[in-house]
């Protein structure tokens, strides 16, 4: 329901107040009254009228003074004020204009003129209220726009920093790869120059060094791929998954080679079972590597010395998917950590941990149209089960990814 406009009538003569109140209430206006200047100012503050009909001649505080105070108050400086005067109209008008009045009526007020002036001033007030509301709305929108621009500037800054980091990483990887190549030839020279008879110690040490060199080279190459993907991303190019026939056993072996030194330092063993028997699957090799890397890398710090991490593979009963499980003999996860895995509320229990590791695993599984579940018992261990369709995701899923 539309609120009726409220008019404050101020006059020290009760008959005049009653006369005006009757006329205006009869036209549907809400009416409030005051019989002195002081009361008028109190009513303005309390009732917040839309217009004031104000007698000029009143004891103690004149209508001019009331009008001046209404104008001086920022909350009411635009409130329409009509002065009612029985005095010399032209002389009164000058004083009234100086006091800030909007209009004048000569007493006794002609009813038609009174209503016409009231309507006209209320219309102007209404328009002014609308302008003020729109100005406030515009200020609000402006604030939101500024916040969004600030946010976008921050995102652009992060993208720029990532681009710079990627660039430096790419440059730093070149000497790492060159260094590994150099180590390789130094190793061969060294082994060649060893006196005969030190064969078996020399050979096992050479094999060990060779494994480390291969691991450094392979992972530097993987990092280069990721840096390239980062650069594409910064340039605004998405990097869609690349599906090709992939041997899970090779990917997992490559992950195990990378993490073996870490596991050995902690006194753990890493095993595989049944992976060689799996059929090749349509998969994105880089994403697969990253997922298994994260799962095994997560398990290692949780497993006490003497424990193990085992990756097992089998083909699902209908022969449409492979199921690969990563099982550890670690400390397991409490329910709250387990329930939050794979959601945006992943909890990291590590200093400097981001909770991104399990999200990467889940993203890989989704991109491949597979599924992931976890079983974990505190003090016993944890197993992640991943099922991946042998023929890769359905065409629609590939196109939408």
Ligand X SMILES: Nc1ncnc2c1ncn2[C@@H]1O[C@H](COP(=O)(O)OP(=O)(O)OP(=O)(O)O)[C@@H](O)[C@H]1O
Identity of the residue, 124 or 360, whose beta carbon is nearer to Mg ion in the bound complex: 360
Identity of the residue, 65 or 366, whose beta carbon is nearer to Mg ion in the bound complex: 366
324: number of Cβ within 10 Å: 28
Identity of the residue, 284 or 302, whose beta carbon is nearer to ligand X in the bound complex: 302
Residue closest to Mg ion (Cβ): 357
46 binds, among Mg ion, ligand X, none (CB under 5 to 8 A by kind): none
Cα 313 to Cα 248: distance, rounded to the nearest angstrom: 9
Least Å distance, CB 213 to ligand X, is 26
Least Å distance, CB 196 to ligand X, is 48
Q: Contacts with Mg ion in 314-373 (CB under 5 A)? A: 357
Structure tokens at 150: 């600030």
Least Å distance, CB 170 to Mg ion, is 24
199 binds, among Mg ion, ligand X, none (CB under 5 to 8 A by kind): none
Query: Contact 40/10 with Cβ under 8 angstroms?
Result: yes
Helix 63-72 to helix 37-47 angle (10° resolution) is 30
Q: Contacts with ligand X in 317-376 (CB under 6 A)? A: 328, 330, 332-333, 337, 346, 348-350, 353-358
- Kind and range of the H or E run holding 96: helix 89-99
Least Å distance, CB 315 to ligand X, is 24
Cα 376 to Cα 130: distance, rounded to the nearest angstrom: 62
Q: At 331, is the secondary structure helix, strand, or coil? A: coil
How many residues contact ligand X, by CB under 6 A?
20
Q: What does the per-residue mask of binding to ligand X show for 175-194, with x meaning CB under 6 A?
A: --------------------
Q: At 385, is the secondary structure helix, strand, or coil? A: strand
* 382 touches ligand X (CB under 6 A): yes
346 binds, among Mg ion, ligand X, none (CB under 5 to 8 A by kind): ligand X
Query: Contact 6/49 with Cβ under 8 angstroms?
Result: yes
Least Å distance, CB 353 to Mg ion, is 6
Q: Is 392 exposed, middle or buried (0-12, 13-18, 19+ CB in 10 A)?
A: buried
- 18 DSSP 8-state letter: H
Q: Is 355 exposed, middle or buried (0-12, 13-18, 19+ CB in 10 A)?
A: middle
Segment contacting Mg ion (CB under 5 A): 27-35, 210-218, 297-305, 318-326? 297-305
Identity of the residue, 84 or 361, whose beta carbon is nearer to ligand X in the bound complex: 361
Q: At 65, is the secondary structure helix, strand, or coil? A: helix
Total length of the chain? 401
Segment contacting Mg ion (CB under 5 A): 13-21, 62-70, 291-299, 366-374? 291-299
Identity of the residue, 290 or 298, whose beta carbon is nearer to Mg ion in the bound complex: 298
Helix 285-299 to helix 356-367 angle (10° resolution) is 140
Least Å distance, CB 343 to ligand X, is 10
187 binds, among Mg ion, ligand X, none (CB under 5 to 8 A by kind): none
Q: Is 304 exposed, middle or buried (0-12, 13-18, 19+ CB in 10 A)?
A: exposed
* 298 touches Mg ion (CB under 5 A): yes
Cα 156 to chain centroid, rounded? 15
Identity of the residue, 29 or 293, whose beta carbon is nearer to ligand X in the bound complex: 293
Please report which residue ranges of 36-84 form alpha helices under DSSP H. Answer: 37-47, 63-72
Identity of the residue, 344 or 400, whose beta carbon is nearer to ligand X in the bound complex: 344
Q: Contacts with ligand X in 263-322 (CB under 6 A)? A: 294, 298-299, 302
Binding site for Mg ion (CB under 5 A): 298, 357
Binding site for ligand X (CB under 6 A): 294, 298-299, 302, 328, 330, 332-333, 337, 346, 348-350, 353-358, 382
């Amino acid at each position: 329901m539309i609120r009726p406009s409220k008019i404050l009538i101020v006059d020290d003569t009760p008959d005049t107040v009653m006369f005006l109140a009757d006329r205006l209430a009869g036209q549907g206006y809400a009416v409030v009254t005051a019989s002195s200047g002081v009361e008028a100012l109190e009513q303005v503050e309390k009732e917040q009228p839309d217009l004031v009909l104000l007698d000029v001649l009143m004891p103690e505080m004149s209508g001019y003074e009331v009008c001046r105070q209404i104008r001086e108050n920022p909350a009411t400086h635009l409130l329409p004020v009509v002065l009612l005067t029985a005095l010399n109209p032209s002389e009164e008008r000058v004083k009234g204009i100086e006091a800030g009045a909007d209009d004048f009526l000569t007493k006794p007020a002609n009813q038609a003129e009174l209503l016409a002036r009231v309507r006209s001033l209320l219309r102007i007030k209404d328009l002014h209220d609308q302008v003020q509301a729109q100005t406030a709305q515009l200020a609000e929108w402006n604030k939101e726009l500024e916040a969004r621009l600030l946010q976008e500037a921050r995102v652009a800054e992060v993208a720029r920093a990532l681009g710079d980091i990627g660039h430096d990483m790419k440059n730093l990887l070149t000497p790492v790869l060159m260094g590994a190549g150099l180590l390789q030839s130094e190793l061969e020279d060294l082994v060649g120059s060893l006196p005969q008879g030190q064969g078996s110690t020399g050979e096992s040490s050479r094999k060990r060094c060779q494994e480390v060199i291969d691991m450094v080279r392979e992972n530097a190459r993987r990092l280069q791929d990721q840096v390239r993907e980062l650069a594409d991303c910064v340039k605004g190019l998405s990097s869609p998954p690349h599906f090709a026939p992939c041997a899970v056993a090779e990917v997992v072996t490559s992950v195990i080679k990378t993490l073996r030194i870490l596991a050995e330092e902690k006194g753990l063993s890493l095993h595989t079972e049944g992976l060689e028997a799996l059929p090749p699957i349509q998969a994105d090799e880089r994403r697969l590597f990253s997922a298994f890397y994260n799962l095994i890398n997560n398990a290692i710090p949780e497993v006490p010395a003497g424990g193990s991490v085992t990756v097992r593979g089998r083909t699902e009963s209908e022969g449409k998917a492979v199921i690969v499980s990563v099982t550890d003999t670690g400390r397991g996860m409490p329910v709250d950590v387990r329930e939050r895995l794979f959601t945006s509320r992943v909890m990291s229990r590590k200093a400097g941990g981001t909770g991104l590791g399990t999200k990467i695993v889940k993203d890989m599984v989704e991109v491949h149209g597979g599924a992931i579940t976890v079983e974990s018992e505190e003090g016993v261990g944890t197993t992640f089960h991943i099922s991946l369709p042998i023929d890769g995701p359905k065409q629609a899923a590939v196109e939408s990814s």
